[in-house]
Amino acid sequence: MLTLHCPYCGIQADETELAAGGEAHLKRYGPGSSDDEFETYLFMRENKKGVHLERWRHAYGCGKWFLAARDTATLEVYGTYAAQTSEPPVEVKAAIRAKHPGWTWKEQA
Amino acid sequence: MSTRLQNAGRLIDRSKPVEFSFNGKRLRGYQGDTLASALLANDQMMIGRSFKYHRPRGVVASGAEEPNGLVNMGQGGYFEPNQRVTTQEVFDGLTATSQNHWPSLEFDIGAVNQLFARFLPAGFYYKMFIHPRPFWKHVYEPFIRQSAGLGKVPQERDADTYEHFYHFCDVLVVGGGIAGLAAALKAAKSGKSVTLIEQTADWGGRAVVDGVQIDGQSAADWVAATLATLGKMANVTIRSRTMAAGVYDHGYVLAYERLTDHISDKSGVRHRLWRIRAGHVVAATGAIERPLSFAGNDIPGVLLAAAVRDYVVNFGVSVGDRTVVVTNNDDAYRTALALKEAGLAVPAIIDVRPSGAGPIGQVAERAGIRVLKGKAIAKVKGKTRVTGVQVCLQAGEGSVLEEIACDCVAMSGGWSPVVHLWSHCGGKLTWDDDQAMFRPDAARGPTGADGKVFVTAVGSANGHLGTAAILRDAGLDATTNEVAEAAIEPVWMMPQGAGPKLRMKAWLDYQNDVKVSDVQLAAREGYESVEHTKRYTTLGMATDQGKLSNINGLAILSQALDAPIPAVGTTTFRPPYTPISMGAIGGAARDAIFQPLRRTPMHDLHEANGVDWEPVGHWRRGYAYPRAGEKVHDAVNREILNVRENVGLLDASTLGKIIVKGPDAGRFLDMLYTNLMSTLPVGKCRYGLMCTENGFLSDDGVVVRLADDTWLCHTTTGGADRIHGWMEDWLQTEWYDWQVYTANVTEQYAQVVVAGPKARQLLQSFGGDLDLSKDAFPFMTYVEGKLGEFDARIYRISFSGELSYEVAVPASQGAAFWQALLANGQAFGVMPYGTEAMHIMRAEKGFIMIGDETDGTVIPQDLNLGWAISKKKADYLGKRAQERSHMTDPKRWKLVGLETLDGSVIPDGSHAPAAGTNANGQRNTQGRVTSTYYSPTLKRGIAMALVLNGLDRMGQEIEFQNDKGGLIKARIVDPVFYDKDGAKQNV
């Protein structure tokens, strides 16, 4: 059972307090987008053994959404950060690359 | 025979005798005994029968690894099967019965199975019960169910109570042996918060049994002193009888404390489940001795060598008068010496190693024990207990050299570290060729949130078998009295060239009856993976989870496959380490507190009114209010007719109520709902639909504009929390620059639907400052003010088709308001009505219900709700999805009404068959029923259904399945069955 640091409460939250929300940094495509764009937005998800950026909500705490960079194989957490970003902050990227040199995430290479 | 010795027994208190019963026999033991030692003291060698062949079985071990000694414990509400005699302490009044035999332990019909053992090989079930197909249901399964299972199922409700503890510590040390104690002391001295747990009742592990000396002290004194030091430290928590069941992600550990299993007084909490979050876990879990695989190694009286030693030293119990020791390592010599010291006979030590033991070998020989080097056991003699052994050469095929009479065999095949806790969360193992064991690979441990290894194995759990090495591994440099030992010689089969006859009697898994020959057969049949072999042979799948059998089994498999042991690998270690009770897992969450119940402010009034409850989410809602002697169905019909003729009350407090406020609230709601909410004038109500991004209808409800920047969104009862979360998700993560607040105020209001032709009269009878007349308070508006003494906000909306008001009052006024409505309503024939009446009335009006007409695959367009979808808006959640070709396909089934020709009711979920079959050979369908009821208003069956080309087929007949395999004819009609023009609700 994981623990993640809630960037809003500042506490190490137990997984029972959290709700998982799937992949982070999705770009929404609405009316006017192509079928390919919409399909990618709605259905195409990463399923990595390794670094994953994901959405979590401190559902039974402050109720805030935040993002986490986590290794799905070793369960190492490289950092949690605000949801109002389009890519992980510099220090989280550095923590990831320290363990996974040359790591990139989709278009946020 | 097995008996109690005059002296010895460091754990028993001879001044405190206890009486217990086994299979109805009254027996005596001492406080401190385990059930196993007390039974052996009473010469009860045979304790149960094995699972498959019903072979007689006695105890093999003295601890948690015991595979055979399982009994039914307790009576009535305290009954529990499969309790392990080696870990169950005796107490006055304990009752136990043996398992898996009929009619008695001594004479068992099922034992006939062993005569057919050669016809019951590995994979027997898979091979035998495949054909013919119909036999499975009628012959095989009933037979297997009859003969399977070890213990009996409890017949009564569990009378015990259980609880959970939440616990946090820097370091959790598991195991109260010398390694655990040393590690705990070191961590505690560094100032960390330390928790030390031990699964048994006593401390010190093997060291105190084996006469180890630490820094000139006896191990017992050292353990007592160390424990006392730890006990005085404020940062240390100590618990015995507490077993670490499993290690999980990020340092989460479950521990299982047994509080009353060892005492007569069962009044307190029985088991406590510790939910521990540990910064670091130290696994000082020791090692388990391995059996040797020789013919007859399952006959009662054949025990692990260390267990024989434990029974003598700890409990003053001799398993037999004459014990033959058979070993491949030096440790078993200690058993021979302990028995000698207790005055018992050891006719021989059979050591497979041609050069024999280290210095301890000479000690044994000086004590007068005959040591047979390079020898092995060909076969154990005896049926229900050992009568002798046949000795052979280990290097040969089993030709008998001599026969030695004995009544106990003490075997040792070496030691396996208890690596379970290390492995539970991904720790990897390495094969140690010198010691013939798998031990933790320190470089590949389980990693935590910080990416660092969070479990450390120390002592014998880490593969160190010498006292000094164990203590050094735990951080303590100490002088000890240990002497050098000769190396172990791995022996997986005894003798090395044992033929088929011997291999068929050499047991690996005692509980599941898996033999050397079974694993070899599996290998011949192509089961190369150890995980497959495990499942095919059931090796290690019993309640002991292969603690004794796994390493021997995979070594046999590796030999059969001609592959090295590390290449074959181990099966996966999964929690719990030993079984834990279901009660402990549930803890206090039982009955009323299993799941908290949400109650409306009027809940108790409904209960007093004889309500028939229906669970809706975590709420209870009144399904109907039957009167004395009235059937529920009749009550529903009465309630409907009363709403249609007089006035009815529905508790609608459970409906979700979410306030959405802020400068961008209108813009936000326009994205959330399919229709326009920003244009709704203050004071007005509008019905709205919400879809997922996939376009499917997700929730509906009435939206009210309370102020220029404030809206109130009603949701379905089950949808309140989900929709509030949905709003927050979009506001926090997508449109986070929009200025909007949301608040879920569902429980802040009690809400009552007052519906029926006399609804207005009833509300007007309260008095107050509100003008409720038709012109002053038109349909789809709301007013706020005093309704009599109540602070009311009244929405004029209708889900029943009648003149209807939904009145919200503060939750604190809810009960009083409900009572006032009932009292004032007497003159108007008021009656409460339940959710079923509400459902039927909305179906009579053709209103959809989320969860009935929708199932996650239905879009609003399917339900002819195009009028509620804005054409003006550039975007809303689900709009893009609804533009996809499949969503605009004219062949999508459309919502229609159905009237059965004969007036009967179509079964719920019924399908309309069509000609032909689909690709899977299933009958094609052309529609399905979404809601179906008997309408007391129309006095006939009505239904709503999604039907292919439904809107073009008005007036046509269609057939739906009835519940007897036949068909019901129905006519496709407009789903609005009642008051199409809305004349009744607009009065």
**What CATH number does the domain containing A76 carry?**
3.30.2270.10
Q: Return the pLDDT at B145.
A: 62
The mean predicted confidence, pLDDT, of chain B is: 94
CB contact under 8 A, B250 and A31: no
Q: What are phi and psi of B404, to 5 degrees?
A: -115, 125
Q: Flag whether A69 is in a domain.
A: yes
Percent of chain B with pLDDT over 90: 89
Q: Do A2 and B449 touch (CB under 8 A)?
A: yes
Q: Is A108 within a domain? A: no
Upstream peptide bond of B860 is cis (omega within 30 degrees of 0): no
Q: List the single residue in A4, A42, A76 with the smallest CB-CB distance to B450.
A: A76
Give A63→chain B minimum CA distance, Å.
Answer: 8
pLDDT at B635 over 70: yes
Q: Which residue of A has its CA nearest to B446?
A: A74
Please give the distance of CA B678 from its chain centroid, rounded to a whole number.
48
Query: How close, in Å, is residue A101 to chain B by CA atoms?
Result: 15
pLDDT higher than 80, residue B118: no
Residue A80 belongs to a domain: yes
CB contact set of B844 (below 8 Å; sequence gap of 6+): B801, B935, B937, B938, B942, B977, B978
Tokens of B449: 């949130």
pTM of the model: 0.91
**Token pair for B451:** 């990416």
> Is residue A49, in this structure, part of any structural domain at all?
yes
Q: Which alpha helices (H) appear in A57-99, and where do they start and end?
A: 90-99
- Which residue is closest to A21 within chain B, CA to CA? B729
Chain A nearest CA to B716, separation (Å): 20
Query: Strand B371-373 to strand B345-351: parallel, antiparallel, or no bridges (unpaired)?
Result: parallel
Q: Residue B164: is its pLDDT beyond 60?
A: yes
Q: How high is the pLDDT of residue A109?
A: 45
Domain span including residue A68: 3-99
What are the CA-CA distances from residue B614 to residues A92, B611, B843, B853 (Å)?
49, 9, 19, 19
Q: Is A64 in Cβ contact with B881 (below 8 Å)?
A: no
Residue A107 lies in a domain: no
pLDDT score, position B53: 80
Give the nearest partner residue to A31 out of B447, B733, B879, using CB atoms: B879
At B894, list the tokens.
Answer: 């459309």
pLDDT, tens digit, 9 for 90 and up, residues B249-293: 999 999 999 999 999 999 999 999 999 999 999 999 999 999 999
How far is residue A24 from each of residues A87, B785, B987, measured CA to CA in Å?
Answer: 9, 47, 53
Whether A23 and chain B come into contact, CB under 8 Å, resolves to: no
Question: Which of B451, B734, B883 shows the shortest C-beta gap to A74?
Answer: B451
**Which residues in B lie closer than 8 A to residue A14 (C-beta atoms)?**
277
Q: Which of B144-148, B275-279, B727-731 has the lowest mean pLDDT?
A: B144-148
Q: Please say whether the dihedral angle defined by the alpha carbons of residues A87, A88, A91 and A92, taken in this order, is positive or negative.
A: negative
Q: How far is A29 from chain B (nearest CA, A)?
A: 8
**A31, B875: Cβ pair inside 8 Å?**
yes
Split into its structural domains, chain A has a count of 1
Q: Is the ipTM of this complex over 0.95?
A: yes
Say what the pLDDT of residue B110 is.
66
pLDDT class for B50, splitting at 50, 70, 90? confident
Residue recorded with tokens 């805030």: A64
Q: Is residue A90 part of a domain?
A: yes
Instruction: For residue A106, tell me if it sits in a domain.
Output: no
* Helix extents (H) in B569-610: 582-586, 603-608
Q: With 80 as the cut, is the pLDDT of residue B131 above it?
A: no
Model pLDDT, residue B134: 74
Stretch among B167-171, B537-541, B891-895 having the lowest mean pLDDT = B537-541
Chain A within 8 Å of B734 (Cβ-Cβ)? yes
Mutate one of A39, A76, A80, A85 to test the B interface: name it (highest B CB count within 10 A).
A76
Domains of chain B: 1-156 (3.10.20.440), 160-284+415-487 (3.50.50.60), 289-414 (3.50.50.60), 506-568 (1.10.10), 603-654+748-842 (3.30.1360.120), 656-746 (3.30.70.1400), 893-973 (2.40.30.110)
Cα angle B719, B723, B725; round to 5: 125
Interface touch B252/A71, C-beta < 8 Å: no
